[in-house]
Chains A and B, each alone.
Chain A
Amino acid sequence: MKFTSLLTSAAMALGLATGAMAEDKTKVGFVYVGPVGDGGWTYEHNKGRLAVEEEFGDKVETVFVESVPEGPDAERVMTQMALEGADLIFTTSFGYMDPTINVAKKFPDVKFEHATGYKTAPNVSVYSARFYEGRAVQGHIAGKMTKSNIIGYIGSYPIPEVIRGINSAYLHAKAVNPDVEFKIVWAYTWFDPAKEADAATVLIEQGADVILQHTDSTAPQAAAQEAGNVVTFGQASDMSEYAPFPRVSSIIDDWAPYYIARTKAVMDGTWESANTWDGIREGMVAIGEISDAVPADVKEEALALKAAMAAGEYHPFTGPIKKQDGSDWLADGETADDGTLAGMNFYVEGLEGEIPQ
């Protein structure tokens, strides 16, 4: 009896002590879907984390867990982070949406930020980047660069974020090259180099000479390099080790400013649940350097397109656009609203195949 009460008080004292220590530092947790060295999606989120550390130095402590599967495991990892005293937790993949909401309910004092989802709560914000703006630039270059008129697209999961990218790339490729055709393979993974390499090889064998990917590894780049005459684009990160060819440009996600701002808000006590969806204009989406493998005039057009989006003069989804089944979606000059874009579950006219359900 005495012994156990001694233990309890010791444990309490220890808890108080660490609690007191934790108070000076803001603890920020990150949950990653892939390894930090994937060279793509997770790599960029981790760069954001490092930027937070650099910005606030001793005032902040960051922790991260990599390669967390989307599902019950994610919930366990988040709970652990919250229990260890994290003040702010970034969960960086679409599949963490429900786990984030569930864990947030249990820890009302911990702030959560979920990337690319749409469910919010008083202590859960969502944030995402308008990747489809980058896809417009990619589609433009792809449409100009393809000689076989076949563009291969490696999809991850059939979710709105990915479908938006396919539609945006297709519309802009079609605009400069009416004969262009998209071949889409669903890999059902965010990160699996073996599967991604297989998918890329198959697309190349079926005549694609441009490969767009919405998966996170550099394996498709390697497959394209092997093939020799296939154009690729960096996804989520610059992937510049494959430049100037096959990688001719890239979409880069820059999370650092957002992560710094949100951490600051938690420190100042001004954090509020928000829904952030930033694009090229705000700098959350950047276009990686367009290499010399792209003809100068195409590069110029692509940069002009980027500038128009940065200035807010051009929206990648501007009518007239029909849906795949031929029904009208956007009238002439009309632009898509964020609600439709956020839940996009249809292909635009001209794309072949069905979206897996």
Chain B
Amino acid sequence: MDLGEINPVLLVASLMVAATPLLLAAIGELVVEKAGVLNLGVEGMMIVGAISGFAISVETGSPWLGFIAAAIGGAVLSLLFVLLTQVALANQVASGLALTLFGLGFSALLGQSYVGIKPPSMGDIHIPLISDIPVIGPILFQHDPILYVGIALTAAVWATLKYTRVGLILRAVGENHDAAHALGYKVIKIRIMAILFGGACAGLGGAYISLIRVPQWTEGMTAGVGWIALALVVFASWKPWRALLGAYLFGGITVLQLNLQAAGVAIPVEYLAMSPYIITILVLVILSADKSSAPASLGRTFHASH
């Protein structure tokens, strides 16, 4: 056992990569829930995004087109959720679960002929000068572009929710849809936009796994990340920066436990494997002690006649 073999700089750099799919999906779901909708279909939308992105980038040779296709794929699947919950006014929990099950099966069908294929590589951004700064360079300035998209998205969602009129309206819809409706806001329309945004983000997160992190396609390869993203939104008290913290914490411990194993630390592998879940939940539960509560209309169906 030799902890000195773990390079902290590389550890931080790779935890950011491990956390990005989780972050993308969580930010999308955060917006959806802020609008008062509970979409449990994150896992399904992620995996559909993973295969649409993979298939398109293999067919066209362009990872960028792949990511665009992934966002569209995730959004299209969330359209099904829109149809069920916003138009047909079905139960959101049941519809979301159905979406996940459907997405897992559908992606396996789409992916039949893509198993074992190598996707085109996106490559990292290397900004001259600043990416060569010791310590900070490898951590901050030598990643793939989508990782920065994830961070930018977090900042954008935070600023939009906090400072803009659009954000205010979205929150109003999520807190009290009857009042928002009485003020003349189009509750259903706003929620549909939020759900589509959430679907696109989940799709991006899925494609990040299949195109950058692994990169390969396998059935069920999102392996529960969507569920963790859902939990993360709750434990982060619907605050974007806390979601980022939680994602990095989870990604970090996931990477760290493998590092500990490779360094020969004598802790049974099973404990190491469960540690990311336990520690992330613990930290976020402690953080959420400040009584920030869920959007008041979360999960409730809206109909103008009520």
Interface residues of A (CB under 8 A from B): 35-39, 43, 67, 152, 183-186, 188, 191-194, 197-199, 201-203, 205-207, 217-219, 222, 226, 241, 352-354, 356
User: Is B214 a contact partner of A219 (Cβ separation < 8 A)?
Assistant: yes
Q: How large is the interface on B (under 10, 10 to 19, 20 to 34, 35 or more residues)?
A: 20 to 34
A198 / chain B contacts, CB cutoff of 8 Å: 18, 254-255, 258
**CB < 8 Å: which of A186, A218, A226, A241 contacts B269?**
A186
A35 / chain B contacts, CB cutoff of 8 Å: 115-116, 218-219
User: Is A197 a contact partner of B213 (Cβ separation < 8 A)?
Assistant: yes
User: Is B216 a contact partner of A217 (Cβ separation < 8 A)?
Assistant: yes
Closest chain-B Cβ to A156's Cβ sits at a distance in Å of 12
Closest chain-A Cβ to B97's Cβ sits at a distance in Å of 21
A205 / chain B contacts, CB cutoff of 8 Å: 6-7, 10-11, 14, 259
Contact of A354 with B266 at beta-carbon distance under 8 Å, contacts A194-B209, A205-B14 already known = yes
User: Is A353 a contact partner of B6 (Cβ separation < 8 A)?
Assistant: no
User: Is B115 a contact partner of A185 (Cβ separation < 8 A)?
Assistant: no
A217: nearest residue on chain B (CB-CB)? B216
Q: Which of B18, B254, B262, B263 has the most CB of A within 10 A?
A: B262
User: Is A67 a contact partner of B221 (Cβ separation < 8 A)?
Assistant: no
Closest chain-A Cβ to B218's Cβ sits at a distance in Å of 5
Contact of A39 with B209 at beta-carbon distance under 8 Å, contacts A67-B219, A222-B216 already known = no
Closest chain-A Cβ to B219's Cβ sits at a distance in Å of 6
A197: nearest residue on chain B (CB-CB)? B214
CA distance A36 to B216 in the complex (A): 15
Q: Which of B115, B121, B209, B255 has the most CB of A within 10 A?
A: B115
Q: Which of B216, B223, B268 has the most CB of A within 10 A?
A: B216
Contact of A188 with B262 at beta-carbon distance under 8 Å, contacts A194-B223, A205-B14 already known = no
Contact of A207 with B5 at beta-carbon distance under 8 Å, contacts A194-B223, A198-B255, A353-B264 already known = yes
Q: Which of A39, A194, A352, A354 has the most CB of B within 10 A?
A: A194
CA distance A356 to B261 in the complex (A): 11
Q: Is B299 an interface residue (CB 8 A)?
A: no
CA distance A352 to B261 in the complex (A): 12
User: Is B218 a contact partner of A202 (Cβ separation < 8 A)?
Assistant: no
For the complex of A and B, list the 3 residue pairs with the smallest distance between their C-beta atoms, beginning with the closest: A37-B115, A37-B116, A39-B116
Contact of A206 with B269 at beta-carbon distance under 8 Å, contacts A197-B213, A198-B254, A222-B118 already known = no
Contacts A193-B218, A352-B264 known; list 19 others, CB within 8 Å.
A37-B117, A38-B115, A152-B262, A185-B262, A192-B221, A192-B223, A193-B216, A194-B218, A194-B221, A202-B14, A205-B6, A205-B14, A206-B5, A206-B262, A217-B116, A217-B216, A218-B118, A222-B214, A222-B215
Closest chain-A Cβ to B14's Cβ sits at a distance in Å of 6
CA distance A352 to B254 in the complex (A): 23
Closest chain-A Cβ to B233's Cβ sits at a distance in Å of 22
CA distance A148 to B223 in the complex (A): 34
CA distance A218 to B117 in the complex (A): 9
Q: State the main secondary structure of chain B at its contact with A.
A: loop
Closest chain-A Cβ to B213's Cβ sits at a distance in Å of 7
CA distance A27 to B115 in the complex (A): 27
User: Is A241 a contact partner of B5 (Cβ separation < 8 A)?
Assistant: no
User: Is A202 a contact partner of B214 (Cβ separation < 8 A)?
Assistant: no
Query: 20 pairs across A/B with beta carbons < 8 Å?
Result: A38-B116, A188-B269, A192-B218, A193-B221, A194-B221, A197-B216, A198-B18, A198-B255, A201-B14, A202-B14, A202-B262, A203-B262, A205-B14, A206-B5, A218-B118, A219-B214, A219-B216, A241-B118, A352-B264, A356-B268
CA distance A199 to B262 in the complex (A): 9
User: Is A206 a contact partner of B263 (Cβ separation < 8 A)?
Assistant: yes
Q: Is B155 an interface residue (CB 8 A)?
A: no
Closest chain-A Cβ to B68's Cβ sits at a distance in Å of 23
Contact of A217 with B262 at beta-carbon distance under 8 Å, contacts A43-B116, A194-B223, A205-B7 already known = no
CA distance A352 to B117 in the complex (A): 36
CA distance A267 to B231 in the complex (A): 56
**CB < 8 Å: which of A192, A194, A199, A206 contacts B6?**
A206
B114: nearest residue on chain A (CB-CB)? A37
Q: Is B285 an interface residue (CB 8 A)?
A: no
Per-position binary interface string of chain B over residues 76-119, scored 1 when its CB falls under 8 Å from any chain A CB and 0 otherwise = 00000000000000000000000000000000000000011110
Q: Is B166 an interface residue (CB 8 A)?
A: no
Q: Is B273 an interface residue (CB 8 A)?
A: yes
B269 / chain A contacts, CB cutoff of 8 Å: 186, 188, 356
A153: nearest residue on chain B (CB-CB)? B262
CA distance A354 to B255 in the complex (A): 21
Q: Which of A39, A183, A205, A241 has the most CB of B within 10 A?
A: A205
CA distance A219 to B209 in the complex (A): 12
Closest chain-B Cβ to A250's Cβ sits at a distance in Å of 15
B258 / chain A contacts, CB cutoff of 8 Å: 185, 198-199, 202
B11: nearest residue on chain A (CB-CB)? A205
Per-position binary interface string of chain B over residues 198-211, scored 1 when its CB falls under 8 Å from any chain A CB and 0 otherwise = 00000000000100
B116 / chain A contacts, CB cutoff of 8 Å: 35, 37-39, 43, 217-218
**CB < 8 Å: which of A152, A206, A218, A353 contacts B216?**
A218
User: Is B261 a contact partner of A186 (Cβ separation < 8 A)?
Assistant: yes
A356: nearest residue on chain B (CB-CB)? B269
Closest chain-A Cβ to B217's Cβ sits at a distance in Å of 8
A241 / chain B contacts, CB cutoff of 8 Å: 118
CA distance A125 to B273 in the complex (A): 36
CA distance A353 to B267 in the complex (A): 11
User: Is B214 a contact partner of A194 (Cβ separation < 8 A)?
Assistant: yes
Closest chain-B Cβ to A299's Cβ sits at a distance in Å of 26
